[in-house]
Amino acid sequence: MTCGTQYAPATEPPAHCAICEDERQYVGWDGQQWTTLDELRGSHRADIREEEPALTGLGCEPSFAIGQRALLVETPGGNVLWDCITLLDDELVATVAARGGLAAIAISHPHYYSSLVEWSRAFDAPVYLHAADRQWLQRPDPAIVFWEGDAHSLEPGVTLLRLGGHFAGGTVLHWAAGQEGRGVLLSGDIVQVVSDRRWVSFMYSYPNLIPLPAASVSGMVDALEPYPFARIYGAWYGRVVDEGKAAVRRSAERYVASLTHVPPRASSV
């Protein structure tokens, strides 16, 4: 219930959750707790919001686990579900079906693998995960495609970019047609939209506040350089940054300077 990762059907709960026990996450303060998708359907409902034309947010309320919402990108070549959530109910299925179903699912990193197998089966869609994070998959399935390298084109104008950072296979999605053709970046929390929405940040662990090395952050910016984007959609509703490209550049500069800056000594009296 803390990370929202679904495990394969079993009569007993798993002894451990590898995602929670990793140093990037944590076991809930009252100890590990488990639920089922059926229980979740009784306690939570879909929270669906239009983000911009051809981009729909798919979340749930009240917030569950990490609380991210997924994004449905509609393209002429077929729809792509970006990231995933644990809940899958009739309203979510009907919403996606009404927009033409799914040609593919792609997920930024293991914290959002959630109920990927359920979503894949509901829409008969392959799931694209970066091969560098293969070890974190808790429920294997034949529909999963492990892609390798630094970029993978899902459809014309829909490109997965492996930036690394938070996870070795940390991936973002570049959608060229978004923002009326000025480009959009769907960033999960690989490029994290922060509270001051002129900025983004980059961390190895968000809950435990473990930063990334300067070289890793610089490498992420370099990998994004060829791709124009006017807006970044982060992992939660409302986490949106305009002037996306400039925000990434200045945020990385600030981050690297903060890692290396030695603050002046307080002047003595």
Q: Which residues bind Zn ion (CB under 5 A)?
A: 111, 189
The set of residues, in sequence order, having a beta carbon less than 8 Å from that of 161 and lying 6+ positions away, is 150, 151, 171, 172, 173, 174, 223, 224, 227
Smallest separation, CB 189 to Zn ion (Å): 5
66 or 92: CB nearest Zn ion? 66
Give the helix/strand (H/E) hosting 258.
Answer: helix 244-260
Smallest separation, CB 235 to Zn ion (Å): 8
Closest residue by Cα to residue 80 from 60, 98, 99? 99
Distance of CA 86 to the CA centre of its chain: 13
Residue nearest to Zn ion (CB): 111
123 or 167: CB nearest Zn ion? 167
Smallest separation, CB 184 to Zn ion (Å): 20
Cβ-in-10-Å burial (0-12, 13-18, 19+) of 223 comes to middle
Smallest separation, CB 111 to Zn ion (Å): 3
CB 33 within 8 A of CB 3: no
111 or 162: CB nearest Zn ion? 111
160 or 176: CB nearest Zn ion? 160
Q: Which residue has the tokens 């994070």?
A: 133
The set of residues, in sequence order, having a beta carbon less than 8 Å from that of 220 and lying 6+ positions away, is 163, 164, 165, 190, 191, 202, 252
Smallest separation, CB 19 to Zn ion (Å): 9
103 or 232: CB nearest Zn ion? 232
